Each structure stands twice: as structure tokens, then as C-alpha cells.
């Protein structure tokens, strides 16, 4: 039984309230009429004393500290890994349930890594008192929404994913860098990269996370592999990822080649996807209308389309195959981060 279930007017803290995900938490609270008591907006000392408008009035931002976490029931952390590593254990020891958006605790054995539509049942076993629950990486969440219904219905043997990731994954400063670099290039200038290692405007480049010299994989690619395996509970799924940044603002796209455990027809695959929670099928072959980053931006649903038998698949006489290709687009700040964390909170509180 969750320590939060049925709690009326929980005290909620947002750690990283001034960031891209922090502000989305507030927008979603408002949109979803999320019921809470006192709300603490916490950020670095740089932002202390500033104000953020929420539900029609100005709320003052406070510096994150142990005292600021006293009496908090639910703490939503999105201030980066080092802040989480220092303060999430403190918040949980003080009795809060922490939903952490960073990668700091995702792979810790005792920490649940949750996409509510996939393994939300894990939350029902969270006991009273403090706890840390990890929000998966944004690319993992978006991928899992599309792959999980296929796994449930047909089994999955392997998946090969290529991402097209927006600037928002690197935070508000990265989004601003993309905007200002775009203006600079259009004005005929040559932008200097600051947040990203490469120029972001009008460019496509390998994900900015560190590359392991032995495997050649960057951290983002390894996260996707490890997190999918943890969420599904084992190494039996063979998964591979190539993570790329593109000059879009806030929705990630992913191209997926998936080999199912059993053969299926394309209409059966489409039906499994269109029936799945959190997904919306956008698959208009005649109109060449499919998921796009703009179509997914600001939306809760992850969009899936371009559903087709893979070009390298063996098909039987009835056109059934085991390998399919899909294209996915999901708002990185919403379902990839803030919405997923809020859905976790809602389930813990018994609202969902």
C-alpha cells in the first residue's frame, strides 16, 4: 500500500521548477486539475526569490535545501543527476516519495523504473514512508509506449532504433541555444556552440552524451538498452540504438525496426498499436501523413505510424511477417519527462 494513497492535499515540491521540465509540471498540474496542498517551487540559489505564475497567482521560488524538503509528501525532481544524487535520498529519508527524472537511480536494483502504461503495477507495491521512483530516459519512455503493446500481443525478439532527438532533452538553455543559433545563421552569422558540442541549428549530429571508447556507444544509447531490459525484466530482448540530435525544439522521433516473436499481419500490428493506452496511430499512407515532431509537440499522446512490413522481412503467402518498421514521435518534455512523472504521482496518490 503506498504511503501516499488517498492522501488529501499532499505537500508537493518541484525541484528544478525554473527548468523546461519544471515549468511543464506546473502546466500539467493546471491542465489536469491535479489536487495538491502546499506547493514548493525549488531551484538553485541563483533563482531564489524569483516568481513563477501558477493558477492565477505568483509563487516565489526557493533555493533547494534540506529545510525546504521538510514535510513534503511528493517531490518531483528534474534538476540533473548531481542534484538528485545529493537531495533525493535526503527527501526520501525525510518521508517524501521522490519521482526522479534524472538517470541517477534508474539502474539501482531496488529502485522501480516506471512507465505507468507498461509496468505501473510496480507502484502499488511502494510501501509507506519515503521512496525513490525513477522516471526512465525520454527516448526509452517514448519507445516503450509503442513496443510494449507489440510485446504483449506478439512477443518481441529484437528491436533496432534510431532516434531524432530535440534540443529540449538538454534543457531550457539548449532550447534557447537552438533559437538563437537559428537567428544567427539566418542573419548570415556563424554561431558558436555553448550548450551542445556542435552547432545545433541547421545541423544533425551524434548525441552529445559521452561515448564509451570500448563499445563505441554513447551514454544515451546505453541508457536505452539498459532501461528497456530493466523495465521488461531481463536480457532476452536484443535491442540496439543510435541516438542523434536534430534541430527541433521539443519532440523526439524514433525509427524502429522490430522483429516479433510470432508472425503478424500489418493490420493486426496497427490494431495492437491503436488500442494501446497513451498511443495514437497516425498512419495515412494515401495522404503521406505520419507522426512529426510538430504534430507531437504539446500533446500527451505518443504518435506512431509508417507501420509496414520491413523491407528485409520474410513473408508468408498471406503477407504475414515477423519484422516490421514504425516511426514514432513523442513530446520529450511531456510524456518523455513531466507527464510520465505526474502519472506516477497520480497513481501513487490513487488519482489514476
Q: Shortest gap between Cβ of 181 and ligand A2P (angstroms)?
A: 17
Q: Shortest gap between Cβ of 199 and ligand A2P (angstroms)?
A: 19
Q: Which residues bind ligand A2P (CB under 6 A)?
A: 16-22, 43-44, 46-47, 64, 79-80, 83, 171-173
Q: What share of the chain is helix, strand, coil (3-state, %, to 5)?
A: 35, 25, 40
Which residue number, 63 or 310, has a Cβ lying nearer to ligand A2P?
63
CA distance 288 to 98: 43
Which residue number, 17 or 76, has a Cβ lying nearer to ligand A2P?
17
Residue pair 253/293 in contact (Cβ under 8 Å)? The answer is yes
List, in sequence order, every residue forming a beta bridge with 251; answer none if it has no partner: 331
Write the DSSP assignment of 118-172 as a string of letters. HHGGGGGG--SS-EEEEPPPHHHHHHHHHHHHHHHHH-EEEEEEEEEB-GGGG-H
Which residue number, 77 or 324, has a Cβ lying nearer to ligand A2P?
77
Q: Shortest gap between Cβ of 348 and ligand A2P (angstroms)?
A: 23
Residues constituting the chain: 352
CA distance 255 to 248: 16
Which residue number, 171 or 191, has a Cβ lying nearer to ligand A2P?
171
Q: Shortest gap between Cβ of 174 and ligand A2P (angstroms)?
A: 7
Could you list the active site residues? 138, 252
Which residue number, 128 or 173, has a Cβ lying nearer to ligand A2P?
173
DSSP type of residue 83: H
Q: Shortest gap between Cβ of 225 and ligand A2P (angstroms)?
A: 24
Per DSSP, the three-state class of 316 is: coil
Q: Which residue is nearest to ligand A2P (CB)?
A: 19
Query: By CB neighbour count within 10 A (0-12 exposed, 13-18 middle, 19+ buried), where does 134 fall?
Result: buried
Look up residue 13 and give its three cell numbers.
515540491
Inter-axis angle of helices 20-31 and 339-348, nearest 10: 50
Distances (CA, A) of 59 to 6, 178, 252: 26, 29, 31
First to last CA, the chain: 15
Which residue number, 7 or 23, has a Cβ lying nearer to ligand A2P?
23
Q: Are strands 57-63 and 251-264 parallel, antiparallel or unpaired?
A: unpaired
Q: Shortest gap between Cβ of 173 and ligand A2P (angstroms)?
A: 5
Which residue number, 84 or 259, has a Cβ lying nearer to ligand A2P?
84
Residue pair 278/335 in contact (Cβ under 8 Å)? The answer is yes
Q: Shortest gap between Cβ of 88 and ligand A2P (angstroms)?
A: 12
CA distance 57 to 157: 52
Per DSSP, the three-state class of 181 is: helix
Amino acid at each position: 500500500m503506498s504511503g501516499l494513497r488517498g492522501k488529501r492535499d499532499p505537500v508537493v515540491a518541484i525541484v528544478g521548477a525554473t527548468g523546461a521540465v519544471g515549468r511543464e509540471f506546473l502546466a500539467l498540474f493546471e491542465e489536469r486539475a491535479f489536487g495538491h496542498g502546499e506547493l514548493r517551487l525549488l531551484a538553485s540559489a541563483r533563482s531564489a526569490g524569483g516568481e513563477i505564475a501558477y493558477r492565477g497567482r505568483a509563487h516565489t521560488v526557493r533555493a533547494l535545501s534540506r529545510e525546504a524538503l521538510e514535510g513534503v509528501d511528493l517531490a518531483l525532481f528534474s534538476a540533473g543527476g548531481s542534484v538528485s544524487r545529493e537531495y533525493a535520498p535526503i527527501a526520501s529519508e525525510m518521508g517524501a516519495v521522490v519521482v526522479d527524472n534524472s538517470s541517477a537511480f534508474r539502474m539501482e536494483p531496488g529502485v522501480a523504473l516506471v512507465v505507468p502504461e507498461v509496468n505501473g503495477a510496480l507502484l502499488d507495491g511502494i510501501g509507506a514512508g519515503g521512496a525513490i521512483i525513477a522516471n526512465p530516459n525520454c527516448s526509452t519512455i517514448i519507445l516503450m509506449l509503442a513496443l510494449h503493446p507489440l510485446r504483449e500481443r506478439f512477443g518481441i525478439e529484437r528491436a533496432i532504433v534510431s532516434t531524432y532527438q530535440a534540443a529540449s532533452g538538454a534543457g531550457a538553455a539548449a532550447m534557447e541555444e537552438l533559437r538563437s543559433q537559428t537567428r544567427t545563421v539566418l542573419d548570415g552569422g556563424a554561431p558558436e556552440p555553448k550548450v551542445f558540442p556542435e552547432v545545433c541549428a541547421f545541423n544533425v549530429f551524434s548525441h552529445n552524451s559521452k561515448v564509451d571508447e570500448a563499445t563505441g556507444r554513447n551514454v544515451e544509447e546505453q541508457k536505452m538498452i539498459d532501461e528497456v531490459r530493466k523495465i521488461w525484466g531481463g536480457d532476452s530482448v536484443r535491442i540496439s540504438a543510435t541516438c542523434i540530435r536534430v534541430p527541433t525544439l521539443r519532440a523526439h522521433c524514433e525509427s524502429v525496426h522490430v522483429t516479433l516473436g510470432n508472425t503478424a499481419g500489418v493490420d493486426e500490428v496497427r490494431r495492437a498499436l491503436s488500442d494501446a493506452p497513451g498511443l495514437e496511430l497516425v498512419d495515412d499512407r494515401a495522404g503521406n501523413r505520419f507522426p512529426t515532431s510538430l504534430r507531437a509537440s504539446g500533446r500527451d499522446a505518443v504518435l506512431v505510424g509508417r507501420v509496414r512490413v520491413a523491407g528485409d522481412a520474410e513473408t508468408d503467402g498471406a503477407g504475414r511477417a515477423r519484422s516490421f518498421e514504425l516511426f514514432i514521435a513523442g513530446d520529450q518534455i511531456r510524456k518523455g519527462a513531466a507527464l510520465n512523472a505526474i502519472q506516477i504521482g497520480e497513481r501513487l496518490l490513487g488519482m489514476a
